[in-house]
A and B are shown apart, each in its own frame.
Chain A
Amino acid sequence: QKEVEQNSGPLSVPEGAIASLNCTYSDRGSQSFFWYRQYSGKSPELIMSIYSNGDKEDGRFTAQLNKASQYVSLLIRDSQPSDSATYLCAARAAGKSTFGDGTTLTVKP
């Protein structure tokens, strides 16, 4: 079992829809969680961090954390073609961040 698991996708949504990306983690000691966006051929870019249970909103992005279920999600509202990328989930425990393999999102005009 991988420490951080994501559906590889691809996830395809129409422009203007809500994209929902999911992530589960195995280490119950994980305290910090991150979402990174990675365009093809580029490096990861931090878009959201979340440290406590519940929702955290930043513009069109909402991160949700449920530590009891060991589940993190990212919602992208009003999806745009420019949101098409691979989204990486990372969980930090014992001073080390572990990344999932990412979910590829395609937003169709």
Chain B
Amino acid sequence: EAGVAQSPRYKIIEKRQSVAFWCNPISGHATLYWYQQILGQGPKLLIQFQNNGVVDDSQLPKDRFSAERLKGVDSTLKIQPAKLEDSAVYLCASSLVGIAQYEQYFGPGTRLTVT
């Protein structure tokens, strides 16, 4: 079974530029999460989708971050414009709906550096 795929793996941009990250979850996983992980901290949830719908985006800085999940599969996370404090690893995770619905499986992450 293929795992969660993410791209790009690394990205360096200047502040005020825009950037987009892509995630493809494990096949059959209805729930998809985007997390931000700053060095030395645990992952912080940005947005959670179930199928096409947003379940939780309470910690998403909506003035600069946006995310979508078309057709209930792939998802993109965009930052526009980027700030220095957005430098972090952006993790995508997915989980089933059902008995093991809360067990999340993470992709390799995208390391973003904003200069």
Contact = CB atoms under 8 A, between A and B. Distances in A.
Contact of B104 (A97, A98, A100, A101): A97
A34 B102 contact: yes
A46 B105 contact: yes
Contacts, number: 45
B48 A96 contact: yes
Interface residues of B, number: 20
Interface stretch (B14-22, B38-46, B63-71): B38-46
Given A42-B108, A44-B106, 5 more contacts: A36-B106, A44-B91, A49-B103, A97-B45, A99-B43
A80 interface: no
Contact of A95 (B42, B56, B109): B56
B42 to A, nearest CB: 3
A46 B104 CA distance: 7
Interface string B83-112: 000000101000000001011111111000
Interface residues on A, range: 20 to 34
Contacts of A92: 102
B12 interface: no
Contacts of B100: 49
Given A88-B42, A102-B42, A97 B102 contact: yes
Interface of B: 40-45, 48, 55-56, 89, 91, 100, 102-109
A90 to B, nearest CB: 8
Interface string A45-64: 11001000000000000000
A90 B45 CA distance: 12
A72 to B, nearest CB: 14
21 contacts: A4-B42, A32-B102, A34-B102, A34-B103, A36-B106, A42-B108, A43-B89, A43-B91, A43-B109, A44-B91, A44-B106, A45-B106, A46-B103, A46-B105, A92-B102, A96-B45, A96-B48, A99-B42, A99-B43, A101-B40, A101-B41
